Amino acid sequence: MNSSTQISKLADYSRSHIRWGAEAIASKKARPRSSLSQITKLQPETA
């Protein structure tokens, strides 16, 4: 009984951790894209 509850807690933790990791990766992928678009917008003005 105790081991099964520990496994379920671990499964919930891993599920939430994977979800958080996926969100973090998505935000990291989105951030460079937005900063890159800002740089390309600024380039014509400086050039």
Q: How far apart are CA 22 and CA 30, in angstroms?
A: 12
What residues does each domain of the chain span?
1-47
Q: What is the pLDDT of residues 1-47, one digit of tens each?
A: 578 898 888 888 888 888 888 888 887 776 665 566 666 666 665 55
Q: How far apart are CA 20 and CA 26, in angstroms?
A: 10
Secondary structure element (H or E) that encloses residue 14, with its range = helix 2-46
pLDDT at 7: 86
